[in-house]
Chains A and B, each alone.
Chain A
Amino acid sequence: MLLSMNWIRDFVDLDGLDLVELINRFSLSTAEVENEIFFKGKDISGIVAAEIKSVEDHPKSKKLHLLKVDAGEPELIDVVCGAPNVRVGMKTAFAKIGARIGDITIAPRELAGYTSYGMCCGESEIGISDDNSGIMEITDDIPLGTDIKTIYDLDDIIFEVDNKSLTNRPDLWGHYGMAREFSALTGRPLKTPETDDLSVYDNLPKVDLKIEDTLCKRYSSIKVENIKRNISPVNIRIRLFYCGMRAINFLADLTNYIMLEMGQPMHAFDARKVEKIRIKRFDKPFTFKTLDGVERNIDENTLMICDDNTPVAIAGIMGGLDSEIVDDTTTLALESANFDAASIRKSSVRLSHRTDASMRYEKSLDPEMTVPAIGRFLYLLKKYDENITVVSSLTDEYAVKFPPVDLCFDQAFVDRYTGIQIDSDTIVKTLTGLGFTVSFDGSSYAVSVPSWRITKDVTMNADIIEEITRIYGYDNFEVNTARSPLYPVRMSNVKSTEEKIKDLLVKKFSLHELHSYVWAYNDELKALGIPVEKNIRLVGATNPNIETIRQSIIPTQLCQVKSNVSFAPEFGIFEIGRVVNGVDENNLCIENKMLAVTLFSKTKNIKDLYFELRDILAAVTDDIKHCELEFAPCKAEHAYEHPINLNKIILDDKVIGKMGIVHPVVNKKIDKKANIVFAEIDINLFSSAKGNAIIYDEPSKYPSIEYDLSMDIPAEVYFGTLRSCWKNEGGDILRSVSVVDTYDTDTVHRITVRFEFSSNDRTLSSAEVQDIIDKIIANLAEKNVTIKNA
């Protein structure tokens, strides 16, 4: 919203203050002001009122005219002018020699053989409207030679307030409300706008008016006849233009002027078209042509203003074409009303038509404003069109009132909330300045909230804190840390596990952390031949590719690998992210947090790469849980999983994830020459697994005995399952078990395992070690493992 400093100054005296500094304070205390401030009229000088005394055609030009202009000086001035609307006797704005318009300084100038000693100006040239059809016509009675700046308010400071920062401030949608803020900020009094005394019309007949739907809270109206004026006074037009509105005609301009000033939207109907004002909704949808000429679909939820049963305006949004003010309009029915904010907002969204009026109504305007706005309207109407006649009494239907808001709080409340000391005088003065009624009894404040703040934003004590502190100024706050007691802080296990995993993967295994979206990558997956699996979906996403929530990060990572194949011959990526695995019995999503890792290599063979990934997972588990992972083969369920090389990952007897080699079909679509392996682990299951504590194992002073067993392991047996063969046999003298060699041929899978025995209190005998080894061999035999070196 654009604001005029002149307009604000109509209501609060800001003389002697640095206005730019004040606007900055306003931005810090009230609402955000956009950076650029416009100094209107600053680059205009030396423009005077002048009369055209004679007009001759230019002998060499069809467009140009030779004028003699009286600028209030003894001699007439020769001017060459190209405007089509020049005529003898016309008064216009004339830029004398030496005048400045923007960057131009007016100097004698030759035009097709004749010298022009000045320039007649159009309104757009002096920046007071966008009319560039001809030179400005001055109708006001001004002595010739008068600098127009002394008559017209060309000089003004215009600043723009971000509308979003006014969403909760219905009172700030007009200059008067803004002036109240400046009044509170500067401590200078707020002037009451001059209004017409409406009580003098009390004996006139009423407007036939009835609210038939409580979505209309209040409807005030009055009828006026004998309106002669067509064009608004220049100063009114300048203000409207500076504030971003175009002048239309006097009555329309005046309704807009009141809206920009008081924040109260108004509508002027041709009184011939609205005899019985009724406010209601219709049972059936229909179309309605608004005054911008657009045919709009009105549904049964849209509140309408009607002449009996004929709709004449969409309440709070826009008037109808058929009832608007036209050239032969002589009688005006004025609307100053208040509607339900949510209803206006919804209608305006439904019609995709947001107007200056609807924008204001949807903020919950103060219904108390309707009548003063009419008083102000009539005051200005009479001021500029003296002979108008009011032909009705003020007719005011007030259907729904907001209940008053009275608040009570003590000084301690303010001190506690602010953390600083703001004295009671300041508090009382601030609130009073903002229109609150305050009484302070030495410890408690009783506050009545003004009508323009109760519709929405001030309803409780915390709201009062905002009023006090923003005017006090947050820059003036003393800043202090809290005095709360200290207690130990326990980090969530999952969070710290996550961070450790990230560190290990990045620092120890040189993997790269990537992020991805939580939904399936439809197009990319299609290219890899991976179907998007059925899962819960989003509704109404703006992007049609965004639909199904992913069940696993792996398909996403395969897409990421695909787009990075040229990054390096070998790389690994990981992500800790969310997936959803269907819904539970309460129809709520089962969300899981997963660690996904994918390795890509053009240099390693698939076995080495697969084992590298295994080692990464094992190392992470060893580092964080101080224990070993177990693996068990599992059946492929997804298109990207290798039918044979796919394993469940087991920790603490729970399946916590899966790792495998990428299916060759998908692998080839990503890269024909590279190998790709993946793993995915449920972070919460991993984190909650017990693991082992670190217990010091004192190195033995006695010699240890090492015993190697070369085991031929059948194809169907997983080495991991053999652990039970020695786990319970070693007692406390089996200190470590390690793999020292593996030997693989087409038929033989041989692993040499070294068992190390020692005791802390004696030298072991070979017999007791042999005893254990024999038991281990017997256990292994049960699993069809044969020992080659026994």
Chain B
Amino acid sequence: MDNKILELKNEIETKLADISDLAELDHARVSYLGKKGSITSLLKGMKDLAADQKKAFGADVNKLKAFASELIENKTNELKEKQIELEIKAMPKFDISSPANLKTGSYHPITLVQRQCETVFKSMGFTVEDYAEVVTDYECFEAVNIPKHHPARDMQDTYYLENGQLLKSQTSAAQNAILRKYGPALINDGVPIKAIFPGRCFRNEATDACHENTFFQMEGMMVDKDISISNLIYFMKTMLSEVFRKDIKVRLRPGFFPFVEPGFELDISCLICGGTGCPSCKHSGWLELCPCGMIHPNVLREGGIDPDEYTGFAFGLGLTRLAMMKYEIKDIRDLNGGSLKSLSQFIDDEE
């Protein structure tokens, strides 16, 4: 082999061994294998050689070329690997077990409970109605069979306004409007009235951990030709089981409310102990949840519906109470308190 070739081979070996940088390596590659590189130059010097030497020289240069190419390629791979290794080492090890940074908003717990109730009733074909907070004495009392001087008006201290209107003390204040809105379709086309109306109610009373002057109820009513007590129990049980996501036992006791006859107090099996008795249910196994009943004939009549032809049930579910039970909120005032510390916890509760 020609000395020049050997020298160059040695030089390449030595040089590449020292290189630790990809850019430098590329530079070396160009200096050996490039168009003006040393190996290429060797080939160019071949024209001065004798013909018999040319062949062997050419073969040797090509061998050197192959050798250098391989060496450079290996070196490139080696350096790339090293570089990745360095890159890996350079990155710190992140501890993702630290608290997550959740930039989440929140719903008011009443919204969550209200939506769960609405979802169940919507799935059963009930419309969701909206109603005013300021109503007339007629809507709140007269229309739902609570005439003037009726003792039931004492039972609830009402917020009256200067103009004689009042802040509705119960969602039943919407019953008459609902009956009048959907009554014609019932009478003319046989479309049953199925409506719920969640809303805020107001009672003129002092507040404490268990009492609020502003709270939510959800009224529900269904009117058709043959609506029965049996239906009422079914709808209440179904709705409550869906809301609490477990099989809820319900029981009815007679209860007196002027807008229903018969009227009931509805109890549900205790959510904490399931009915075996615990401090939450005062060891009775039951929790009193909501008044309900068959709509009083006078209420139907006042709403333009003939009670001899149609029957219906109605209930008044305490949404505030339901939310408190569901989320174990001890102080009712937290709900209207406006504290983000309390209320930002209610992210979402849909299934």
Contacts and interface: CB of A to CB of B under 8 A. Distances in A.
Interface stretch (B12-20, B91-99, B108-116): B108-116
B191 interface: yes
Interface stretch (B32-40, B47-55, B78-86, B127-135): B127-135
A100 B105 CA distance: 65
Contact of B222 (A169, A345, A482, A485): A482
B127 A419 contact: no
Contacts of B228: 416-420, 480, 482
Contacts of B144: none
Contacts of A587: 163-164
Given A416-B226, A482-B222, A587-B163, A510 B104 contact: yes
Interface string B113-148: 001000000100111111011101000000000000
Nearest to A498: B130
A572 B344 CA distance: 11
Contacts of A517: 213-214, 336
Contacts of B183: none
A167 B128 contact: no
B76 interface: no
B163 A491 contact: no
A588 B222 CA distance: 30
A513 B254 contact: no
A366 to B, nearest CB: 17
Contacts of B75: none
Interface in B287-344: 294, 296-297, 307, 311, 335-336, 338-341, 343-344
A583 B230 contact: no
A474 B129 CA distance: 30
Contacts of B110: 515
Interface in B163-192: 163-165, 167, 190-192
A485 B194 CA distance: 11
Interface stretch (A107-115, A135-143, A331-339, A465-473): A465-473
Contact of A518 (B130, B133, B284): B133
B340 A564 contact: yes
A499 to B, nearest CB: 7
Given A513-B108, A580-B134, A588-B136, A549 B161 contact: yes
A677 B162 CA distance: 33
A484 B226 CA distance: 8
Interface string A107-127: 000000000000000000000
B17 to A, nearest CB: 55
Interface stretch (A28-36, A72-80, A435-443, A708-716): A28-36
Interface stretch (B1-9, B61-69, B258-266, B268-276): B258-266
A695 interface: no
Contacts of A474: 229, 233, 251-253, 264
B27 interface: no
Nearest to A684: B130
A749 B157 CA distance: 59
B163 A589 contact: yes
B122 A491 contact: yes
Interface in A409-429: 416-420
A28 B284 CA distance: 13
A30 B256 CA distance: 11
A466 B254 contact: yes
Contacts of B343: 512-514
A495 B338 CA distance: 23
A499 B115 contact: yes
Contact of B229 (A418, A502, A541, A572): A418
Nearest to B164: A587
Given A462-B261, A511-B105, A540-B160, A489 B122 contact: yes
B231 A506 contact: no
A782 interface: no
A571 B151 contact: no
A345 B254 contact: no
A107 B107 CA distance: 67
Contacts of A721: none
Interface in A442-488: 460, 462-463, 465-466, 469-470, 474-475, 477-487
A68 B159 CA distance: 70
A540 B204 contact: yes
B206 A542 contact: yes
A167 B264 CA distance: 14
Interface residues of A, number: 88
Nearest to B158: A540
B22 interface: no
Interface string A515-529: 111100000000000
Contacts of B125: 486-487, 489
Contacts of B251: 28, 474-475
A157 B251 CA distance: 25
A499 B122 CA distance: 14
A539 B161 CA distance: 6
A51 interface: no
B284 A35 contact: yes
A469 B111 contact: no
A560 B294 contact: no
Given A477-B229, A536-B161, A510 B256 contact: no
Contacts of A490: 127
Contacts of B190: 485
Nearest to B296: A462
Nearest to A481: B234
Nearest to B128: A495
Interface centre among A349, A489, A507, A583, by most chain B C-beta atoms within 10 angstroms, is A489
Nearest to B237: A479
Interface string A27-67: 11111100100000000000000000000000000000000
A512 B335 CA distance: 13
Contact of B106 (A29, A460, A462, A512): A512
B282 A564 contact: no
A165 interface: yes
A416 B229 CA distance: 9
A571 B340 contact: yes
A539 B115 CA distance: 34
A515 B336 contact: yes
B338 A560 contact: yes
Given A538-B161, A563-B338, A462 B294 contact: yes
A509 to B, nearest CB: 7
Contacts of A543: 206-207, 213
A220 B191 CA distance: 56
B106 A513 contact: yes
A481 B344 CA distance: 39
A460 B255 contact: no
Contact of B230 (A478, A486, A487, A541): A478
A596 interface: no
A417 B256 contact: no
A696 interface: no
A502 B111 contact: yes
Contacts of B237: 479
A573 B344 CA distance: 10
Contact of B348 (A463, A506, A571, A580): A506
19 contacts: A30-B254, A32-B265, A416-B226, A416-B228, A465-B294, A479-B237, A484-B192, A490-B127, A495-B128, A495-B130, A506-B104, A512-B343, A514-B343, A538-B160, A546-B159, A587-B163, A588-B163, A588-B165, A591-B134
Q: List the 10 closest A-B pairs by CB distance, nearest first.
A: A419-B228, A419-B230, A466-B262, A506-B105, A474-B252, A484-B192, A560-B338, A510-B105, A168-B256, A462-B261
Interface of A: 27-32, 35, 165, 167-169, 342, 345, 349, 362, 416-420, 460, 462-463, 465-466, 469-470, 474-475, 477-487, 489-492, 494-495, 499, 502, 505-507, 509-518, 536-543, 546, 549, 559-560, 563-564, 567-568, 571-573, 578, 580, 583, 587-589, 591, 593
Given A465-B294, A538-B167, A583-B163, 11 more contacts: A35-B284, A418-B228, A419-B231, A462-B294, A470-B262, A481-B235, A489-B126, A513-B105, A518-B200, A543-B213, A549-B161
